[in-house]
Amino acid sequence: MTQNVLRTEHVTQRFGGVIAVNDLNIEVNEHEIIALIGPNGAGKTTAFNDITGVYRPTQGRVIYTGKDGKEIDITGKKPSDIATLGVARTFQNIRLFKDLSVYENVLIATHLHLKSNFLSAMFRLPWYRQEEARMHETVERFLKEVNLWDVRNEKASSLPYGRQRYLEIIRALATDPKLLLLDEPAAGMNPKETAELTEFIRRIRDEHNLTILMIEHHMDLVMEISDRIYVLDFGNTIAKGDPAAIQNNERVITAYLGEDEDA
Amino acid sequence: MEIFQAIANMTAAGFAQHLVNGISLGSLYALIAIGYTMVYGILLMINFAHGDIVMMACYFAFFGITAFHIPWYLTFVGTIIATALLGVIIERTAYRPLRDAPKNSVLISAIGASFLLENLANYLFSGRPMHFPDIPFLSSMVPVGGVQIQAICFFIPVVTVLCLVLLLHIVNHTKTGMAMRAVSKDYEIARVMGINIDNVISITFALGSALAAVGAIMWGIRYPGITPYLGVMPGLKCFIAAVVGGIGNIKGAVLGGFILGLGEILIVAFFPAFSGYRDAFAFIVLILILFYKPTGLLGETTTEKV
Amino acid sequence: MNKNGKRNFLLTVVALIVLFGLSCFVQGEVDAYIRRIVNLCLIYAIIGLSMNITNGFAGQFSLGQAGFMAIGAYMVGIFTVPVNLRADVFYAVPMNPHLVNIYMPLWLALIMGGILAAIVAGLIGTPVLRLRGDYLAIATLGFSEIIRIIITNANTITNGALGIKNIPSLNDVRYIFLATAVSYILMTLLLSSSYGRAFKAIREDEIAAEAMGINLFHHKNLAFMVSAFFAGIGGGLYGALLGTVDPKNFLFTLTYNFLLIIVLGGMGSVTGSMLGAVIVTAGLEYLRIFDEPLEIMGVAIPLFRPGLRMVVFSVLLMVCVLFWRHGIMGTKEFTWDKLINFLKHPNFGRKKEVQRK
């Protein structure tokens, strides 16, 4: 039996009278790529926010299996604690540190594993310097991996949109996650770029031994790399299964295309 | 137990006097707090200069009567108009240019405007305390059941309630008020709907400042020593009152004003040993309310969108 | 990069030695009035940078500097007055018997003041740092006033509203220069470390910073406490420079001086704070001419009288934020690399055009 990396149990999120996510039960197994799809407003990003601690679910639990193989209940934990446990994410509308350099953006992401306290850092004690040197090595490796090394001193906001997406992904990778959550990574990309991104996602999954959960609208991308797909509509899970099954699912087609008038 | 001692020593008349003091101070705070809450409701900023607008209004009234010998009732009308204008001018020069700037810049500009008004008053009118002129009847003491109470104390709550009724009428039942509520609800949508945002903001500042002027005149009669810095502490406390009541909510501002005014007076009455900490009371209330109910007593809860 | 790092380090050391030599010269050759201004510049530079840590680097708009300064200044006031002179100071209410015989040398009192300010900041930070923007500003300003009110009322410790006189006066440029240099080096090292980068991340985007595993509360509190520590040190030096401390010295309007310093210098720039401090302090002294009656060719100009200086000061603050929001440095820094680059290729103002292409 493969092990769950992430499991949501009956997660429900209400805002006032609105139910954004209703009884969400997803399972993500080690090394899988899982897609979360559905029309706008289906509650996908809310589900991400529930998982990463931005919101506290109104009901239900989020269970994560950390690097040590132990299951942890991460429901309602602080986002920073969840990130430290190995869950990294990107954002739908790209949240880079806009006025900082490309280099600093990635460097900041390595801060969470820093063991030296602020006094060691202030006095530049030997163990802090070792850690800092390692952080710089990590950043260099990641930036070279996605060809951003040459623009490392540019402001993050000065990069073209597509490059910003890549920067955000490697910034998340620099936190050394086990589970990566990608919120619409291909948004705004043309088919060629999307194809490249598909390759990239597969590559980082293999090279960094990741498990990936992503929200995406580009069906080419979703159908090509997802192991399994969950479909949300108005907060409810209306279908789940492998890409082939989802493509032929009546309810999914209805949700996307709207009710047929004759039906 | 000091408190029992204090209560035991307090006669019914003495208590009534504290109560009257507390209610009139609370009413004054309420009038000033409305200005903070209206501006915050629309621009999401603290008009740091609001307390100093109160101070300027005191000086307007002072000079109208003492230097220009205008009859006091005409002076009061003039003061209200001049103060409303001052509020609009401050908005146009200090806040409007920064409408799209980061919030911290607006905050710094507001602090600058406040500091400028204080320093300007200090320069123009000197730092020496001046004595607000005595107004016939209003400034006199009236004997009530063995204690002397200043006549204005009975007018302050009445005027405050009248102002509140008038303001609520404007906000809830006129076209301008509707525009104000629309801008406060959703700035962008209101703009798209063709509401003249600049006008609405100017009217908001004018109304808030006019109410501050009413408060300032009564403040001057009640506490006649006026200095360039008289608006600082009331200003801070009234902002706190607005937060306590739920920022953006006019009735909340009034409620907060009364809580702070009454609380401050009664604490000094019951715990004379703490009278030195009188000004700290408001800040402690602020911390408590932000800790337990950050949206204020009458405020709505909101969730930030990610 | 390493080669440059070594060179820059040497240059910094040389610059510090030169500046120290200069401060020895100022101490020996210049009159007390100018020395006082130089000292004030140095002290304001410490406090300006301390305020920049929270406001400019961590992006938390705090207005509590005057309160933390007061803590440092009173620590110096209470413990460095010679024991035999204390009865003169506390003539109205005698000093607390537990404290009356405790004496500290200045350096110890400075550090203790910094530590106490940091502890108070830590306590205040717990409720206050959950707030944002305007609310945080008001709450920190409120606490600054509460600190002042407590000081005014704690008669047996602080001598209340009468203040503390007879503090051994320190108008020594060398001492204050060294204190400033050490403070600046420590703050710069912290800000350029991983912690400093975490502060900047919080300033840029709190939600993204949290998603990167940065604990908002811990880091905001760290920034707040370090800021208070150095404000305490600066306040202690300020008290020692004045020779007296009085609760009225620490009204929250004092904080506005440092606000102008960091706005003018650049929110988020270490070297900007230094520049801002020199310009504002020296400028405020220079503006004193506005407060003196002025006669031009026998005609008295009526505008010049006490108070004009502060009017000009507040207008400057407004102009600065309205028309020159990023100040002199913005979030940039003066670096040796830039200077050397400039000396090698002195292309005045042309660089910008090249960059745009």
pLDDT at residue B2 greater than cutoff 80: no
Do the Cβ atoms of B306 and A15 come within 8 Å? no
| Cβ contacts of B306 on chain A, cutoff 8 Å | 45, 49, 54, 91
Same domain, A108 and A129: yes
Torsion of CA A111, A116, A120, A125, to 10 degrees: -100
Predicted confidence at residue B93, as pLDDT, reads 93
Helix (H) or strand (E) holding C300: strand C299-301
Which domains are present in chain B? 2-292 (1.10.3470)
As a whole number, mean pLDDT of residues B4-24 equals 78
From A154, A176, A198, the end of a domain falls on A176
Q: What is the DSSP string of C55-121?
A: IIIS------HHHHHHHHHHHHHHHHS-GGGHHHHTSSSPPPTTTTT----HHHHHHHHHHHHHHHH
Residue C356, pLDDT score: 39
Rounded to two decimals, what is the model's pTM? 0.91
List the single residue in B with minimal CA-CA distance to C131.
B290
DSSP A87: E
Q: Does A52 sit within 8 Å of C211, measured CB to CB?
A: yes
A44-72: average pLDDT: 93
Cβ–Cβ < 8 Å for B47, B235: no
Other beta carbons within 10 Å of C343: 8
Q: How far apart are CA B248 and CA B298, in angstroms?
A: 10
Model pLDDT, residue A42: 87
**Distance of alpha carbon B120 from the chain centroid:** 21
Residue B103 has pLDDT above 90, yes or no: no
B–C: how many Cβ contacts below 8 A?
A: 112
CATH no. for residue A50? 3.40.50.300
Of A15, A45, A91, the CB nearest to B303: A15
Neighbours of B73 (CB within 10 A): 10
Chain C, window 160-199: residues with a beta carbon less than 8 angstroms from a chain A beta carbon: 186, 189-190, 193-195, 197-198
Residues of chain C contacting A96 with CB distance shorter than 8 Å: 205, 208
Which is more confidently placed, B194 or A231?
A231
Give the burial string for C136-155 (b: 16+ CB within 10 Å, else e).
Answer: bbbbbbbbbbbbbbbbbbeb
**All structural domains of chain C with their residue ranges:** 32-255
| Domain presence at residue A91 | no
DSSP labels, A7-34: EEEEEEEEETTEEEEEEE--EEETT-EE
Q: What is the pLDDT of residue A262?
A: 45
Nearest-neighbour CA in chain C from A54: distance (Å)? 8
Considering the domain architecture, whether residues A109 and A167 belong to the same structural domain is answered as yes
Q: Which ipTM did the prediction report?
A: 0.93
For residue A45, the chain B residues in CB contact (below 8 A) are: 306
Of C163, C180, C178, C183, whose CA–CA distance to C81 is shortest?
C163
DSSP output for A211-241: EEEEE---HHHHHHH-SEEEEEETTEEEEEE
Q: Is residue B78 within 8 Å of B65, Cβ to Cβ?
A: no
Which chain C residues are within 8 Å of B107, Cβ to Cβ? 61, 133-134, 137
Residue A76 within any structural domain of the chain:
yes
Q: Does residue A67 sit in the same domain as residue A184?
A: yes
Contact A47, A232 (CB under 8 A): yes
Which domain range does residue A151 map to? Answer: 96-176
CA nearest to B83, candidates B211, B240, B210? B210
Paired tokens of C317: 């603050």
The C-alpha angle B171, B177, B181, rounded to 5 degrees, equals: 90
Give the minimum alpha-carbon distance from A129 to chain B in angstroms, rounded to a whole number. 35
C34 touches A at CB < 8 Å? no
CB contact under 8 A, A45 and B303: no
Q: Is residue A218 part of a domain?
A: yes
Asked if C325 lies within 8 A of B119 by C-beta distance, the reply is: no
State which residue of chain C sits closest to B105, comparing Cα positions.
Answer: C321
Half-sphere exposure of C178 (CA within 13 A, CB side): 7
Give the strands of the sheet with A179-183, arranged side by side: A87-89, A179-183, A211-215, A33-37, A228-233, A236-241
Q: What pLDDT, on a 0 to 100 scale, did the predictor assign at position B1?
A: 53
User: Where is B258: in which H helix or E strand?
Assistant: helix B250-270
CA atoms of B80 and B92, how far apart (whole Å): 19
Q: Which residues contact C352 (CB under 8 A, 6 or more apart)?
A: none
Q: Note whether A261 and A186 are same-domain residues.
A: yes
Chain B residues in contact with A91 by the CB 8 A cut-off are 306
Q: Is A99 on the interface with C (CB under 8 A)?
A: yes
Beta carbons within 8 Å of A75's beta carbon, 6+ residues apart? A56, A57, A60, A61, A62
- Chain B contact for C207 (CB, 8 A cutoff): yes
Find the closest chain C residue to B288 by CA distance: C127
Of C59, C138, C321, the CB nearest to B109: C321
Query: Does C110 reach chain B within 8 Å, measured CB to CB?
Result: no
Contact B306 A91 (CB under 8 A): yes
Q: Residue A234: what are its φ and ψ, rounded to 5°?
A: 45, 40
Cα–Cα distance measured from residue A243 to residue A35, given in angstroms and rounded to the nearest whole number: 10
Q: Is A97 on the interface with C (CB under 8 A)?
A: yes
User: Can you name the residues that pair with A35 across neighbouring β-strands?
Assistant: A214, A229
Which of A89, A122, A132 shows the shortest C-beta gap to C211? Answer: A89
Is C238 at the interface with chain B, CB within 8 A? no
Main-chain phi, psi angles of A127, to 5 degrees:
-65, -30
Q: Does B306 lie at the interface with A, CB-CB under 8 angstroms? A: yes
- pLDDT average per 10 residues of sequence, chain C (357 residues): 78 92 90 92 97 96 96 96 91 88 94 98 90 85 92 92 91 93 96 96 96 96 98 97 94 92 93 94 84 74 79 88 86 85 70 41
Which of A122, A149, A176 is the C-terminal boundary of a domain?
Answer: A176
Q: Is A183 helix (H, G, I), strand (E, B) or coil?
A: strand
Q: Count A/C contacts: CB-CB distance under 8 Å.
A: 102
User: Given an 8 Å threshold on Cβ–Cβ distance, is C310 in contact with B104?
Assistant: no
Instruction: Answer yes or no: do C207 and B287 touch at CB < 8 A.
Output: no
pLDDT value at residue C337? 84
Gap between the Cα atoms of C63 and C67, Å rounded: 9
Across the interface, of B118, B123, B290, the residue whose CB is closest to C139 is: B290
CA distances to B25, B50, B122, B257, B291 from B237, rounded to whole Å, are 11, 11, 22, 8, 17
Output the pLDDT for position A29.
94
| A113: nearest CA partner in chain C | C213
| A158 Cβ under 8 Å from any chain C Cβ | no
Report chain A residues whose CB lies below 8 A from the CB of C186: 122
- A19, part of any domain: yes
Provide the token pair at C274: 């230094």
Q: Are strands A18-24 and A4-15 parallel, antiparallel or unpaired?
A: antiparallel
Q: What is the enclosing helix (H) or strand (E) of C3?
A: helix C2-29
Strands B141-144 and C299-301: unpaired
The first and second tokens of residue B250, run together, are 């006019």
Q: Are residues A73 and A133 in the same domain?
A: no
Cβ distance C134 to B46 less than 8 Å, yes or no, reads: yes
* Model pLDDT for residues B35-93, shown as the tens digit of each residue: 999 998 888 888 999 999 999 999 999 999 998 888 888 999 999 999 999 999 999 99
Domain boundary among A176, A196, A217: A176
Structural domain total, chain A? 2
How far is it, in rounded angstroms, from Cα B232 to Cα C247? 17
Tokens 């001046």 found at: B130
Range 61-100 of C in CB contact (< 8 A) with B: 61, 63
Query: What angle is formed at CA A206 by the lines to CA A203 and CA A208, rounded to 5 degrees?
Result: 100
Interface check A151 vs C, CB under 8 A: no
Residues 295-324 of C with CB under 8 A from B: 305-308, 310-311, 313-315, 317-318, 321-322
B127 or A194, which is more confident: A194
- What is the structure's pLDDT at C355? 41
Answer whether A108 sits within 8 Å of C212, measured CB to CB.
yes
- Decide if A47 contacts A36 (C-beta within 8 A): yes
Sign of the dihedral through C-alpha C187, C189, C192, C194: negative
Q: Which of B111, B118, B279 sits opposite C259 (nearest CB)?
A: B111
* A35 and A113 part of one domain: no
A152 and A103 co-located in one domain: yes
| More confident position, C132 or B174 | B174
Does B120 reach chain C within 8 Å, measured CB to CB? yes
> What number of other Cβ atoms are within 10 A of residue C354's Cβ?
8
Instruction: In whole angstroms, give the CA distance from residue A234 to residue A43.
Output: 7
**What is the mean predicted confidence (pLDDT) over A100-122?**
96
Residue B276 has its nearest CB partner, among C153, C259, C306, at C153
Interface test with B, best of C134, C204, C263 (most B CBs within 10 A): C134
- Chains near C with 3+ CB pairs less than 8 A apart are A, B
| C-alpha span between B76 and A222 (Å, rounded) | 72
Nearest by CB to C194, from A53, A83, A132: name it.
A132
Mean pLDDT of A209-218: 93
Are residues A189 and A156 located together in one domain of the fold? no
Q: How far is B104 from chain A (nearest CA, A)?
A: 16
For residue range A151-191, list pLDDT tens digits in order.
Answer: 999 999 999 999 999 999 999 999 999 999 999 999 889 99
